[in-house]
């Protein structure tokens, strides 16, 4: 569990407080990781096994069967060793990890129904821990009035909280900043209703 039930309740309270001042809808998701990256250790193991024969051929008198056996053992042992999650996630190129995390954020945005609010005022606050990635996605009604860079400070607050092992505090800070932006551009109105659950989802 990335965030305790007590901290999830704190985040839910922060969402309720922010939404009292705006017609916008805020939803939060935190992911342990956005992909398993199962092929990454295999790719590294295969690359190492492929380059292994050259030095063995030139600098040893090993027979072909021994070199072939060394290749197989190298592939298997390397693949097993690199499959350990703390190592596996560090092998993923940063750009590839961020691309996977962004795809997961888009999937959550659609899957949680943030694109179905009446005035298209849904906001997703998303973080993926293994990729060290955070993003805020806003629906069309919000993007028509504010530019994406307005969320930069909220993303920075979220990332800071996660890096310091206080993810709930990071989410709460991001919620407060997003709420302030939404309150400025989307006041609650007289018929304000809650269209999305006020909670943090952990996946």
Average pLDDT value over all residues in the chain: 93
Q: DSSP string covering 22-80, please?
A: -S-EEEEEEES-S---THHHHHHHHHHHHHTHHHHHHH----HHHHHHHHHHHHHHHHH
Assess whether pLDDT exceeds 60 at residue 200: yes
Residue 190 — pLDDT band, cuts 50, 70, 90?
Answer: low
Only one residue has tokens 């993003």, namely 135
Whose CA is closest to 183, among 27, 19, 26, 14? Answer: 19
- Residue range 195-199: mean pLDDT, rounded: 90
Assess whether pLDDT exceeds 60 at residue 156: yes
- Residue range 189-197: mean pLDDT, rounded: 74
């Amino acid at each position: 569990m990335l965030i305790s039930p007590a901290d999830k309740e704190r985040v839910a309270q922060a969402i309720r407080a922010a939404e009292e001042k705006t017609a916008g809808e805020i939803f939060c998701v935190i992911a342990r990781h956005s992909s398993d990256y199962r092929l990454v250790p295999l790719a590294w193991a295969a690359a190492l096994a492929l380059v292994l024969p050259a030095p063995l051929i030139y600098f040893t008198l090993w027979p072909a069967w021994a070199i072939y056996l060394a290749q197989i053992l190298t592939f298997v042992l390397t693949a097993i060793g690199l499959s350990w999650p703390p190592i596996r996630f560090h092998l993923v190129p940063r750009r590839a990890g961020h691309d996977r995390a962004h795809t997961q954020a888009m999937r959550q945005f659609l899957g949680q129904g943030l694109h179905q609010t009446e005035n298209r005022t849904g906001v997703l606050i998303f973080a993926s821990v293994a990729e060290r990635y955070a993003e805020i996605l806003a629906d069309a009604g919000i993007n028509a009035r504010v530019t994406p860079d307005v969320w930069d400070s909220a993303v920075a607050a979220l990332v800071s909280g996660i890096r310091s092992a206080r993810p709930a505090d990071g989410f709460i800070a991001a919620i407060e900043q997003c709420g302030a932006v939404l309150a400025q551009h989307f006041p609650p109105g007289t018929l304000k209703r809650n269209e999305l659950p006020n909670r943090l989802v952990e996946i």
